[in-house]
Amino acid sequence: MPQVFRDARATTPLTLDLPVVLLSHRGPVAFDRAAATGERTATRGAGGLVTALSGLASHLDEAVWVCVAAGSEDAAVAAEAGGVPVQLALDPEPHLLGEDEQDSRRISMRLVEIPPEVHDPFYGVIANPLLWFVQHRLYDLALSPSLGREEHAAFEDGYVVANQIAADAVIEQVQQVGGRAVVLLHDYHFYLVGDLVRKACPGALVSHFVHIPWPEPDSWRVLPPTMRNRLLGGLLGCDVVAFHTVADARSFLLCCQELLSLPVDRRSMTVSVEGRTVRVRVYPISIDIPALEAIAHTDASDEHIVDLDHSLGTGQLLLRVDRTDPSKNIVRGFQAYDLLLEEHPELLGKVVFLALLQPSRQDVQEYADYLHAIGAAVSTVNAKHGTGDWQPIDLRYASDMALATAAYRRCDVLVVNAVADGMNLVAKEAVVLNERDMVLALSEATGAHDELGRFAVTLHPFDVAQQADALFEALTMPGQLRRDRREHAALIVHRNDVRRWLTVQLRDLSELRTEGPV
């Protein structure tokens, strides 16, 4: 029986006898105004991280979730609240709770306003694309990035200031509960917050979770020392720095060693800094299976299955579901499929590659270029192999969970060939929902490969020939082997679902309290 964790203490109840303050860029709900009625609307935030944190925040009584006001209506809610957290309920539809309303799964959310002249450079110059590109190693280093005065100013007047604003809100929440709290900071937007919180609230236990790949020092050297050393220093202000994979954690230790000359211990996964010990930990994030199954088993999803069955007949379905991010490696995936069809003409007319792609960050040139490259690759493959009855690639730009879950249920091969991916939750969603013993074709460069690689066909992201061979292996794998592997993979995800991800972290933090500064 596969074991993701050494122990099985996931049944520990999800509690913590300290208040919790969460920080992430996006929050559980976004507010808007309905165009027709002018009434305030509330929409649940998308994405695996927000889903995971919503689970956490709704299970803890004393938790406040600090996040950035995204639009003008978020800002209006923040202004009305005057720095006090608002109370939310997520079910059945997300809504603000009135003062006398009760809800057992109430979430306290504090929206922080970051002025556009700060948020634009913070988010649009530094966090995306600079940090995202550095951490996914997407730069064409011969020419980009070319860091000029604008980028330095964006760091100082955008990233640093936005981090201070977020830190101030977190600090205020911690001080309101007497300075003793567990502070859970999230992702690449807020690397500087940990150190600020620790200095203001020495009684707090501070953890920072990095959800995207942490590359080795070579890649961080793309940033000048004025940036890279401060980002590292910010994280090292925390008690715990957490990642999805052992490789990411080891790269972080290596950065502390090589870039800051700090003593690290690879065995205990710790860094010594100014007399303190910073723990580096690994918690692979996962999915909320009941919530996913609720979306997947709807009439809309069932109807999509009927449509897919109708158009495929006895044919096999390859599937990918991705944002159009260069890190997702969509173009090489189509090149591999092209080679597969060229070398295996017996597959012509018998397979379809359904690509459900969500356009992403089209204001960034590299993303616009990448969208064009995707279109060009699809045209090449469909023009070369397609017929009036059959187009080998079915590309749909959409963010349609009913369709995606139907495709997860129906597909024969799920293709995830990312050049770098912190985790990749698509792989976990598909193995849980699939009803046809699909084969997972999974890049070695995803966090998910650590857990699911043994039950997948491994893809090497830069090797189109190997990917073509692997896709052929996946399409022709015998039934019993497909079944065994898919079932084992699903079991792993069921064992380490998002609740366990949260529970194990909180358990570890509880244990740390006995040795830590709290």
Report, in Å, the least distance between residue 399 CB and its own copies.
22
| Count of C-beta atoms within a 10 Å radius of residue 351 | 21
In angstroms, the CA 474 to CA 472 distance is 5
In angstroms, the CA 393 to CA 357 distance is 12
Report, in Å, the least distance between residue 376 CB and its own copies.
11
In angstroms, the CA 397 to CA 360 distance is 10
Q: Which is nearer to its own copies, 190 or 334 (by Cβ)?
A: 334
Q: Which is nearer to its own copies, 221 or 350 (by Cβ)?
A: 221
Sites of contact with its own copies (CB under 8 A):
137-143, 145-149, 151-152, 215-219, 221-225, 247, 250-251, 254, 258, 326-327, 329, 331-332, 335, 339, 366, 370, 373, 419, 444-445, 460, 462-466
In angstroms, the CA 507 to CA 6 distance is 14
Report, in Å, the least distance between residue 404 CB and its own copies.
24
Q: At what angle do helices 479-495 and 425-433 cross, to 10 degrees?
A: 120
Please provide residue 222's backbone torsions phi and psi, each rounded to the nearest 5 degrees. -65, -30
The alpha helices in 351-418, defined as continuous H runs, are 365-385, 401-410
Report, in Å, the least distance between residue 280 CB and its own copies.
16
Report, in Å, the least distance between residue 216 CB and its own copies.
4
Q: Which is nearer to its own copies, 201 or 470 (by Cβ)?
A: 470
Is 121 in contact with 157 (CB distance < 8 Å)?
yes
Report, in Å, the least distance between residue 358 CB and its own copies.
17
Is 70 in contact with 54 (CB distance < 8 Å)?
no
Q: Which is nearer to its own copies, 1 or 142 (by Cβ)?
A: 142
Q: Which is nearer to its own copies, 130 or 192 (by Cβ)?
A: 130
DSSP string, 8-26: -GGGS-S--SS-EEEE-SS
Report, in Å, the least distance between residue 474 CB and its own copies.
17
Sequence-ordered list of residues with C-beta below 8 angstroms from that of 85, at least 6 positions apart, any chain = 64, 65, 108, 109, 110, 173
Longest dimension (CA), the chain: 70
Report, in Å, the least distance between residue 321 CB and its own copies.
19
Specify which residues 354 forms β-bridges with: 319, 394
Q: Number of C-alpha atoms within 13 angstroms, CB side, residue 439?
A: 23
Q: Which is nearer to its own copies, 30 or 254 (by Cβ)?
A: 254
Q: Which is nearer to its own copies, 45 or 326 (by Cβ)?
A: 326
Is 197 in contact with 171 (CB distance < 8 Å)?
yes
Q: Which is nearer to its own copies, 127 or 264 (by Cβ)?
A: 264
Tokens of 45: 């935030």
Report, in Å, the least distance between residue 326 CB and its own copies.
4
SS3 443: strand
Q: Which is nearer to its own copies, 316 or 329 (by Cβ)?
A: 329
Report, in Å, the least distance between residue 412 CB and its own copies.
24
Sequence-ordered list of residues with C-beta below 8 angstroms from that of 151, at least 6 positions apart, any chain = 125, 126, 130, 145
Q: Which is nearer to its own copies, 42 or 127 (by Cβ)?
A: 127
Our CA angle for 295, 429, 70, nearest 5°, is: 70
